[in-house]
Chain A
Amino acid sequence: MKFLNIKDSALSFFRIAVGGLLIIHHLAIILDFDVLFGFNALIPNEINNLFLESFIFNLSKLYNLCFTWLTHHQFLLLFHTVYLISLTGITVGILKNFFSLIALILHFLMMKNNGFFSYGVDYFSSIALFIIFIFPCNSHMSLDLKLGIKRMSLVTEKYFLPFLQVFLSILYFFSGFDKLLGYNWRNGEAIWKTINLPSANTYISSNLEWLSVYQLIPLLLGWSVVVLEMLYFIINFTALRKFFLSAIIVLHLSIALLLELYFFSSLMIIFNIAAYHNFKTYSK
């Protein structure tokens, strides 16, 4: 029995988990795609393009440039097909460099077709696809490996974990620091406001009204989020790793349950697990 080392397992886990999640995420909007990012978007392409820099490309510009021989419906069908095939290619690890580049570009074109309906998950999806593109995420547990396809990458695999760890430390530090600047995060109001957003899960939020009686709790929760995020880099000390990893996963699970941002939370949990989970006990 051969054991994979930590970075090989982390690379494979990251590729498979991100690819799988993005397939589900795309299927989760596919029925409404036309009113979200298509040619009948609730914010028309022409108006969206007025808010884009002229050199930024998107789906509607691509269509007008070279796909006018297709109907809008055929073009979107082609887009969905190529995008989902690319994500599947990433997940199973075949022609990883090619498919990750295609998925990265198509995701960008889709998001720029209506940036007003984008949120955190979209930015982190692009970041994840970019990471898959530049690192040799197909070096293990992939069809590329089984079929003997040459596995090249822009950067070497030994920097995968250090990069992901530094990146997450920067991300969470600024996330916490920006919150610290807002007085509402320091007096508990931000937590109270978040729980009571109209878009929040009404079942949970309506059962948290009692927090207004025990106002010390939202105050402590607010500070906990700020401190956890700002000091996230301490996760790099092995002794505290389990605590910080568990805490940040609990934070993202709370976001998923309260704000119903399931995809965003899942993606952030994947980033954290890939960066800090100890995979060394799993065998090939």
Chain B
Amino acid sequence: MRKIFSIFILSAICLLYILVNIRSTYKGYFGFYHEKESDSLLAQNGIYQNITKLILFPPVNVFLGITGLESGSGFFAPNVASSYVVRQNLTKTGYINSYLINTPRVSQKESTIRIRTGFSMFKDYLAEQDDTLKILKCDVFLKRLSDNNAKGFDCNEVTSNVYLFHKPLLSEVRQGKSESKYFLIRTKQYDFKR
């Protein structure tokens, strides 16, 4: 009996993981090749919709969340995502000196990696209307990041610039382009009264 139970449980986990991955493959593929009509194409896709219904069913959703099976394994696929860089100019009112920083001011390296993971949300600055919740989230993140960094340098005035990073592709290198480019996508100025 225990043997059957074990096989049933483990098979169910593997099946769920396959379904999560199929869904993630669909999402990644349409998101990459049909970015603008991705949502409508996915809405018409029966397989994707049925898997989504199952995955979003609350008990299944909680189970997948707790067990970590909620994410597909297509890391860096189908395309390596665009990168965003935040550069901040920090000054203190009445002082001439300023600091130019491009890494979050935290104590541990792993924390920097995590915060940089969060930078991927800045893609919403390119895709969303200004009054959406996603933009609000990006704005709040940028403001709190600025405040955190300013505190670390004992400053209060911050100019935060968010850039889309572009390293020339191999095909562009062949044409003689070699300079990395930083496209400014958002700039914000803050004065944190302390």
Chain A residues in the interface with B (C-beta under 8 A): 25, 28-32, 35-36, 42-44, 47, 50-51, 53, 55-56, 104-105, 108, 112, 116-120, 122-127, 129-130, 134, 154-156, 159, 163, 166-167, 170-172, 174-175, 177-179, 181-182, 184-185, 187-190, 192-194, 196-199, 212, 215, 218, 260-261, 263
Take A156-B2, A174-B21 as given contacts and tell me if A179 and B69 are in contact as well, using a CB distance cutoff of 8 Å. Answer: no
Tell whether, in the assembled complex, residue B140 and residue A181 are in contact, meaning their CB atoms are under 8 Å apart.
no
Question: Considering only CB atoms and an 8 Å cut-off, how many residues of chain B contact the other chain?
Answer: 70
Chain A min CB distance to B45 (Å): 15
Beta-carbon nearest neighbor of A31 in chain B: B107
Chain A residues, Cβ within 8 Å of B7: 159
Chain B residues, Cβ within 8 Å of A182: 32, 77-79
Number of interchain pairs (Cβ within 8 Å) = 198
Take A179-B77, A198-B83 as given contacts and tell me if A112 and B117 are in contact as well, using a CB distance cutoff of 8 Å. Answer: no
Top 10 closest pairs, chain A to chain B, by CB: A126-B68, A182-B78, A178-B74, A178-B77, A32-B111, A155-B6, A174-B21, A28-B110, A31-B107, A196-B167
Query: What secondary structure prevails in chain B residues at the interface with A?
Result: helix
Does B67 sit at the interface, judged by CB under 8 A?
Answer: yes
Does B14 sit at the interface, judged by CB under 8 A?
Answer: yes
A–B pairs, 14, beta carbons within 8 Å: A47-B136, A123-B71, A127-B67, A159-B6, A159-B10, A174-B22, A174-B25, A177-B25, A177-B74, A178-B78, A179-B77, A181-B77, A189-B171, A190-B80
Take A42-B118, A118-B117, A156-B6 as given contacts and tell me if A175 and B144 are in contact as well, using a CB distance cutoff of 8 Å. Answer: no
Chain A min CB distance to B134 (Å): 9
In B1-48, the 8 Å CB interface with A consists of 2-3, 5-7, 9-10, 13-14, 17-18, 21-22, 24-25, 28-29, 32
Tell whether, in the assembled complex, residue A174 and residue B67 are in contact, meaning their CB atoms are under 8 Å apart.
no
Chain A min CB distance to B119 (Å): 8
Chain A residues, Cβ within 8 Å of B193: none
Tell whether, in the assembled complex, residue B68 and residue A125 are in contact, meaning their CB atoms are under 8 Å apart.
yes
Beta-carbon nearest neighbor of B147 in chain A: A42
**Of B58-66, B90-98, B153-161, B183-191, which binds chain A?**
B58-66
